[in-house]
Every structure is written in structure tokens, then in C-alpha cells.
Structure 1
């Protein structure tokens, strides 16, 4: 039995007498039974995802040449994938592109990342991407609060100057608002560090040398970066690193609900 996707890609379901034949037609060199089974897993699993998403989905009517090219890349990568989890990532990337397309060049990178990263790296990246959402909002809030603090300095100097005409009531209200603002700043900083500590707890689960190897690879692959690099404020604390658009797009496909 050949998957409908395979028949559609080859364009001749009669010729495609099985997934093995299809695989050899596409890859040429994939002659081992293990490689064939890997590609079978990719294709049959992809069909299941698409049918679950839309029972009436027909690959041959819905796919563009771009999708076919991506699927061929996924097949080649699947034949080389040494774990089922890597094949699952390839499956999710192709499915994600079909139902929610991202730029072609990005998706080809996702297919490479699907087999390049190991399971621990995906877990680390998942944690960083998920926490980055909260950190981004808190970072923006802190930025706004600091601007307010800076602007308030001039007001405070003028209000409490010896020649100030501000009333005691006005000064009292200013101090009250300043205290509230200070408390809000402290609470926001606490919330920010609480999220960062989630990352630190994950980092602490790995031996230092192992984590450095896994994390540096994510950095080299363009998935994370140090926003403070080259600045005096750079502490080198990896828990403060941020995620790139490539990381966000990749994890979006991996976490996308297929239902």
C-alpha cells in the first residue's frame, strides 16, 4: 500500500507499488530497509495528520510545487534520521507549512533543524521560546516604567526646590504616586526574574559541560542570541538570552495543534 501523498508526488500511483519503490525513486541511494521504514513513518504519519486536520483533504489538489519540494527534502532527511522523534519533527514541519505556510527558506531550515537537533536541545529551545513571550512583555513594561521614572526626576526637582510654589498637598500626592510606581517597578522586576529562574532551573538539570555543548550549538544555528553582547552590561548569563525569529517559527510548527 502506498500513501496517497507518495502517489501524488510521483504522479503515477500504478508505478508506485509500495512505499519502498517510492522511496527509491525519490532518493535513489536509500536502499536499506531501515531507511525505507523511516520514510514510511514520515509519509503515513503525515497523511494521518492531514486527515485529522481535514478528513476531506487531498494532497494532490492542495499541494504546490513548493510543498512537493519541501516534502522531497523531508524524505531525504527522514531517511537519515536516527530517532522517531526526529521523524516526528519533520512530519510536523511539513504539516505546519501545508496548513499555515511560512517563507519557503525558513521552512527548509526547519527541516534541517528537525534532524540536526537532539531531543534535549528541542526541550531547551521550547523552554526559551515559551518563556520569551512573558519576558518580552515584562521587558517592555520595565522599559516604560523606567522612562516614567526618568521623566519624574525633573518634576521632583522642580516640585521640591526651595523656590517651588507646589503646595504641601501636591507634594504629598507626588510622594504617594512615587511610592506606588516604585512598588510596581519592584513587582515587575520580581516577575521578570521569576521567569528567568524557570530557565535557570532547566539549565541546572544538565552537567555544565553538556549544557554548554547543547546551548552553544543552538547559538551557532541562529536560534538564540545574547542581546547584551559587546555591552558593559553583559554578564554572560545564558538565562537572559533571547530567541530569534527562526526559533519562534520552528517551535510554532512543533507545538501546533493538528486537530
Structure 2
């Protein structure tokens, strides 16, 4: 992504703000053990320029690093079983409608599988804590979409995500001779509450209050706050949250 020039494809255009030109790159599916640096270099090598921004899916990185868990092997606790019932009954009949969730989502919550759900909640409790485990899905960045069977990807800690973003930028600079800003992005939402940005999950971006779990989710959805995908970390120290959120949305 780069600041816009006439004639290019424009994403995220808003009056009074620089345009963002977006190019999407296709790679093969990143499995555990994939050399994602090689995949990135191969994909962007002929297109990237100095000053560009590169947004990368956190889940793709986590999968390639082997940060995945088979929830079929997890033994749920009494608390995680209670949380599965919480999703089925409280989210299905009260909080779901309160947060204006779509009817098809509410229908799925009301048929939430208790056994599998309890195992998932056990993983969420262990890795992200109670506040995020109280949400109905994608707790703290834990994500099972596009993964086989009962596997889920485990989100990066903010410091680790920053280290990886800087490492990717350093490798691009070393191999291609260009300076870019790397942004690791998650589809979980960040919400704008007046002058504040709040997120259910942790993020390394300064200016975003992360780790609020169900509190941020309820506020964001019940009040209909403007939301964005969450920038998890950036290779550029001190990147403005407004810019990081615009880039995450454009990606």
C-alpha cells in the first residue's frame, strides 16, 4: 500500500486524507513450517517500493510458525463448560440481540455445541483470560477459520508481534534493498469511542486500548460504534493509531 497517485486503484479514500493505493498479493496456503519470508519476497519483489506499507494476516503468520492447537485434545474445566453454556443461553437469547447480531449468528449461538465449545473456552481462558473468554467467538484473536478439523491458531503477544514485524521489514530491506513498514493485522474489530480506540484483544499499537474483552465488544456493538480490523503490531515505532487503522481497513 502507498499514498495515492492519479490513475491508481484507491481504497479507504476519505475527503481531506491522502489516498491509499492497494495491491493484493496471492501466495500459496501457509502451513506450519512455511518459509513465509520467502513467500513474501516472492510475492512483492517486483512491486514494492520505498515507503510502502505491507499488511500481513496475523493468522497466516501464526499458522506458519506452528502456533496452532488441536482443541480435540483439550480437557475442559468446570468454568469452561459454564462459559459454553453462557454462549448458548446468554449470548443466544440476551446479549446477541442486545448487540444487534445478525439473525443467522444468533441462531448459531442458540445451537452452540457445548462439548466442543467448552474445549474452545478452555483454550481461551488459558491464553487470553476471562474477559475475552466471555465473548462469543474469536476470543483475543484465537481463530479456527480456514484451519482443518478442530485446530485453532494462537495469537501473537504484542511484543512478539512487534519483533516479527520488524524482522520481516529487515529481511525485505536486506533482500530487496527497500524500506517498507510492515503491519500485522487481525480481523477482530477495534472500535472508536469518541476520541478513544478500544479493542477486545491486545495490540502493540500505542493509542489503542486493548485487552478489554467483552467490555469493548459490548460497547462497540450495542452502541453501533465505527469499527476497524485490528492492527496488532507495526515495524514502525510510534505509528499513529489512525493511520494503522486506515491501513488495516484498506487491507
Do both proteins adopt the same fold according to a TM-score greater than 0.5, normalized to the shorter chain?
Answer: no
Higher helix residue share: 1
Normalised by the shorter chain, which TM-score bucket? under 0.3
TM-score normalised per structure 2: 0.28
TM-score normalised per structure 1: 0.27
